[in-house]
Amino acid sequence: MLITIVFYLWYLFIIISTSIVDEKNLRSQSLDIIIGGVFTDRDEGTTSRSMESIFKYAIFHYNRLANDAHNLTHKINLQAETLHLVSSESTLQTVDDVCSLVHQRRVQGIFGPPCIELATLAHSICCHINIPFINVCSNCYDPENLAGDAEEEWDNVTRHDCVSINLYPSNEDLNIAFHNLTHKLQWNKFIIIYDIESGLTRLQRVLNDPGLNQTDILVRPFTHINDRSALLDAIGRDVFNIILDLNDLNTHAVLKMALQMGMISSSYHFLLTTLNIDSYDLEDFKYNFVNLTAFRLFRRDDQRVKSAMDSFLLFKTMPIDDINQRLFTTSVALWVDAVLAYAYAYDKLITSYGGFRSEAIRPNISCVEDNKWPLGAELGLKFSEISFDGITGTVKFTPSGKRTGFELDIVHLTETGLTKIGVWSREQGANFTLISSSRGTLFNSTLIVTTIIGAPYVIYKHSENATIILNQTYSNSEFEGFCIDLLDELSRELKFYYKIKPITTGRYDDMVEEVKNKVADLAVAPLTINYAREKKIDFTKPFLSLGIAILFKLPKPEKPGLFSFLSPLSLEIWIYTFVAIFTVSFILLLIARCSPDEWRNPYPCDAEYDYLENRFTVSNTLWFSIGTLMQQGSDVSPSAISTRLVSGIWWFFTLILISSYTANLAAFLTVEKLVNPIETAEDLAKQTKIKYGLVSGGSTEQFFRESTIPIYQAMWKFMISNPEVFAKNSQDGIDRVKSESYAFFMESTSIEYTVQRECNLTQIGGLLDNKGYGIGLPEGSPHRERFSEIILDLQEKGIIQKSYNKWWKGKGTCSSDKKDSKANPLGLTNVGGIFVVLLGGIVLSIFVAILEFLWHARKNHADRRHSVWWELLKEVRFSIQCGASNRKALSIRRCSQCKSDQNDSDPCTLPHQRHRRSLNSHSSSLTSVNFGHTSKTRTTTEKTPELDRFDSILMLATEKENHFDSRSRRRQSSTRSQRKKSSSLLLIEQQPSNHVHHIQTQQVRFNRNPDSSVKHSLKSQRGEDDNGNSADVNVPLSSSLSTNSRFPLRVSRL
């Protein structure tokens, strides 16, 4: 049993060892495969000898690297057999040459030729004898190029009967790639320049895009090497996007001509359909700000590419003129991958059969005998099973032989050369981002700048009547203004030149269209940044911030009112002031009558005078308060501490009040008030007298059109319902504001500039929104960030603000606000109110005087033989008599008793009514406080009716004395003793039955001329002397007293 187990193990070991040895022998066995290359002198852009050298180099590079480097199971050596076809040969001769190559040289695959016609013929031969056909032709044997065959039939044929492989990306994939790219670049208008009509098959999706206007797509042929017609057509039609579908030689020629015609600038964008862009000499273009974009199939910095280029340099059989590093083109890379793909497929075929087969090594193939290669169809199927990373990317095929799974690099020309900006794939489409340029990108380039002429932004230096020609560019030296200063700073930083292309329509949206369509490189003007414009072009950071405001005519100054002198204080202050006057007067009156120090002897020289007076009556107190308020004095002055304290506080109050009033009065009298009929946009919307509008087609119109605020929506409805309110441009709107009742909506910066120069215009209200002016660039421009950086730098340095002050507040500003050296004189309109007050006061005083005159005339009517009006006329005649004396006789009205007595020698000297008032008031004067009288007795004793009567008489005498002037009192005081000796004393004696009153002797003095002599006799009828002066009279007491109470009253002259 053990022996049996050992035997089986030994047998298994021998079998395994044999298999390993066979496998090693199989791997070490080298298989030589012959492949043929067919070339012609009509190959694309190259000679047949160059293509033959490239084919042989590809085989050399493959054989140079070990099989392990290619990860092949079997060692396969490839040998090349080539055939040169002459374009003048007939089709029969070409077929015979290809069949001879296959039959005599025993080739197992045909490569080439790139020529479309011969490639189609060679493909048919290979299909007939079942030999794989491999090519790298960009337009060869696609289903669209095979007459009478549909794509489905083609796929079926190639899958079962024919083997045809093409490493060049299919036209279907390129169609999708170019359509994705142009759509991402948002090209709506472009021109296609082609040299072969069949090449347009890879642009069918672009041409038939339903989203494009077919009239904006131009297709022009390139007929010869110096054909400039297509470029001239692009210039004439303002087309700035150009697709070049040309071979390498023609592409380079067109770019040279574009450089000579000034089209290599930022205004133009070239898209190349060639995948061979890496082999182009672009040194003359990369410093001229050209936009050049293309697809690239391989990267030179890839390690596999570097290895292939090393083999390229070591390939000695190629003439030195035909091989250099720049000639390592996409075609060369595709040939290398094509040879490698054949080796991978053949390795798969051998592996599937478990080793080499004789029919695989030396097939007997003949076109005449219709001998097909039995393994040819299977070899064709192996191409769809392989997948490897070649120097052109991932290499894999569909069952129909089309390449799939590859990616294309999107490259853009910059100052450093071609730069990868994105990748395209069938699954993901075009994903790229244009790289921002560096400082040197704009160096020495000339940019076209579109703008709108209008102060202070862009001002034409020549005559204002000069005409700007449409679509013509001008030198920057012909213009000045804020935007020109900004452009000068930008050009100084970025080292570029510029020309001005003004817009003649005056519409800002036209500038946006010019930048969008690449007619201009920049839009530098008061161009507002908004969402609608951002969808069309790119903007830099704002260089000015602003908003929409209202421009309106400055209202005419309103003259000061007639009573403008009341304006410094508000109505409530005036009311409080009058309340304060009456309140302080009442408090002062109350305190004065309560304070003992305010009661004083009216005759300080008469120490025995029995009565004290208080000068703070109601009228005097009001006069004191008003006089103090008016900064005037009064005869009344406080003596007590309490009254002085109240007076001091009142003086302080009037000082502050009058000072404030005086300080504010000057402004109200001299400043002319401006009253605007509108203050805000709401006021404008609520009225109908003043029309309002804006410039049509601008950002201001868009603001109102798209606003969601109800007040702005209502204003927009009004404007669209009245089209005449829209202005053609800003200047038109300004002119309408000056000449009509019209309010104009415009940017606040423009309003500020206008107001500085138009003295009769002003800005109404605040800003309706906030926005900014920016520089417009084509969408996707790589220079936006750089422009924005410089704008921010200029703002931080204050250069933009300095330029703003120069153009807004510099020369030409309005000078109406300059003050004259002399103040304007005040007119009647300023101070007419005080004259009205003066006139009113005079009229009122005359009216009061007349009332007083009438009242006192009636009250003191003495002569009953004449009427009151006769007495009044007499008094008026005396008052207006020129040269009349300033003294007149005292008129004393007689009582009823005197009326019945016909003896005029003893008249009643006391008016009857005064008797009663004096008696009534005398009793109340004995109290401590009496608002009706200003005197009080020193001592108070028990009174009798007789004494009361006498006190009344004494009070009457005192009242008469108060009318003496101060000089008379001083004279009387100095001669007091003398008058006492000569004057008669009034002694009143009364001895009633019950008690006796002793009354002090009181001197009775009447107002009279002290110089009158004793010889003047009394006129009893009228109580006057000869000169009409008052005389001393005997005053009998009234009979109302008791019969024994008559007082002997003896009155003599003083």
User: DSSP secondary structure string, 194-257?
Assistant: ES-GGGGGGGHHHHT-TTS-GGGEEEEE--STT--HHHHHHHHTT--EEEEE--HHHHHHHHHH
User: What single DSSP character describes residue 597?
Assistant: G
Distance, in Å, from the CA atom of 395 to the CA atom of 304, rounded to the nearest integer, reads 14
Please indicate, yes or no, whether residues 122 and 245 belong to a single structural domain of this protein: no
Distance, in Å, from the CA atom of 417 to the CA atom of 422, rounded to the nearest integer, reads 15
What does R_g of the chain's alpha carbons equal in angstroms? Answer: 63
Report the candidate in 595, 941, 990, 543 with the shortest Cα–Cα distance to residue 772: 543
Write the CB contacts of 622 (distance below 8 Å, at least 6 apart in sequence): 581, 582, 585
pLDDT of residue 800: 93
> Is residue 878, in this structure, part of any structural domain at all?
no
> Is residue 285, in this structure, part of any structural domain at all?
yes
CATH of the domain at 779: 3.40.190.10
Please indicate, yes or no, whether residues 180 and 44 belong to a single structural domain of this protein: no
Please indicate, yes or no, whether residues 644 and 703 belong to a single structural domain of this protein: no
CATH of the domain at 572: 1.10.287.70
Distance, in Å, from the CA atom of 117 to the CA atom of 136, rounded to the nearest integer, reads 14
As annotated, the binding site for L-glutamate includes 526, 528, 533, 699-700, 747
Whether 777 and 522 have beta carbons less than 8 Å apart is answered as: yes
> Is residue 191, in this structure, part of any structural domain at all?
yes
Please indicate, yes or no, whether residues 154 and 38 belong to a single structural domain of this protein: yes
Please indicate, yes or no, whether residues 1051 and 964 belong to a single structural domain of this protein: yes
> Is residue 384, in this structure, part of any structural domain at all?
yes
Site of tokens 């603000």: 801
pLDDT of residue 271: 93
Distance, in Å, from the CA atom of 100 to the CA atom of 1043, rounded to the nearest integer, reads 190
> Is residue 779, in this structure, part of any structural domain at all?
yes
Mean pLDDT by 10 residues, the chain (1054 residues): 65 57 51 86 58 86 73 84 72 83 86 78 85 81 42 42 82 91 87 86 87 85 90 86 90 91 83 88 79 87 78 62 61 90 90 66 70 81 90 90 91 86 89 57 81 89 69 86 94 89 85 87 92 90 92 78 78 89 88 81 77 84 87 81 85 87 77 74 89 87 90 93 89 90 91 87 88 90 88 93 90 60 57 67 74 73 65 71 58 51 44 42 39 45 48 53 48 46 37 39 39 37 42 39 37 34
Distance, in Å, from the CA atom of 499 to the CA atom of 878, rounded to the nearest integer, reads 101
> Is residue 612, in this structure, part of any structural domain at all?
yes
> Is residue 826, in this structure, part of any structural domain at all?
no
- At what angle are helices 376-383 and 330-353 packed, to 10 degrees? 120
CATH of the domain at 148: 3.40.50.2300
Please indicate, yes or no, whether residues 529 and 573 belong to a single structural domain of this protein: no
User: DSSP secondary structure string, 19-44?
Assistant: HHHHHHHHHH-EEEEEEEEEEETTST
Picking from 671, 705, 734, the residue at the C-terminal end of a domain is: 671
Long-range contacts from 311-317, C-beta under 8 angstroms, 24+ separation: 311/57, 311/60, 311/61, 311/64, 312/57, 312/61, 314/64, 315/53, 315/56, 315/57, 315/60, 315/61, 317/53, 317/56, 317/60
Please indicate, yes or no, whether residues 66 and 155 belong to a single structural domain of this protein: yes
Distance, in Å, from the CA atom of 983 to the CA atom of 1003, rounded to the nearest integer, reads 9
The CA angle 730-731-733, to the nearest 5 degrees, is 65
Write the CB contacts of 122 (distance below 8 Å, at least 6 apart in sequence): 38, 98, 110, 112, 113, 133
Please indicate, yes or no, whether residues 81 and 71 belong to a single structural domain of this protein: yes
Q: Write out the H or E segment, with its range, that includes residue 459.
A: strand 459-460
Please indicate, yes or no, whether residues 712 and 634 belong to a single structural domain of this protein: no
> Is residue 1013, in this structure, part of any structural domain at all?
yes
Please indicate, yes or no, whether residues 765 and 780 belong to a single structural domain of this protein: no
As annotated, the binding site includes 526, 528, 533, 699-700, 747
Distance, in Å, from the CA atom of 121 to the CA atom of 42, rounded to the nearest integer, reads 14
User: DSSP secondary structure string, 901-944?
Assistant: ---TTS---S-HHHHHHHHHHHHHTTSS--SS--EEESS-----
The CA angle 864-865-867, to the nearest 5 degrees, is 70
Please indicate, yes or no, whether residues 285 and 359 belong to a single structural domain of this protein: no
Picking from 389, 404, 419, the residue at the C-terminal end of a domain is: 404
Please indicate, yes or no, whether residues 954 and 1016 belong to a single structural domain of this protein: yes
Beta strands 544-546 and 474-475, pairing class: unpaired
Structure tokens at 255: 């770019």
Picking from 671, 702, 722, the residue at the C-terminal end of a domain is: 671
Per-residue CA distances from 1012 to 369, 609, 1009 (Å): 185, 26, 6
pLDDT of residue 937: 46
Total structural domains within the chain: 6
What distance lies between CA 460 and its chain's CA centroid?
Answer: 27
Per-residue CA distances from 203 to 171, 192, 327, 444, 621 (Å): 8, 9, 27, 35, 110
Distance, in Å, from the CA atom of 299 to the CA atom of 305, rounded to the nearest integer, reads 7
Other Cβ atoms less than 10 A from the Cβ of 877: the count is 10
Beta bridge pairs of residue 695: 727
Its domain, for residue 602, covers: 564-671
Write the CB contacts of 797 (distance below 8 Å, at least 6 apart in sequence): none
Buried b (16+ CB within 10 A) or exposed e, 765-779: beebeebbbbbbbbb
Write the CB contacts of 824 (distance below 8 Å, at least 6 apart in sequence): 670
Beta strands 164-166 and 544-546, pairing class: unpaired
pLDDT of residue 255: 92
Length of the chain: 1054
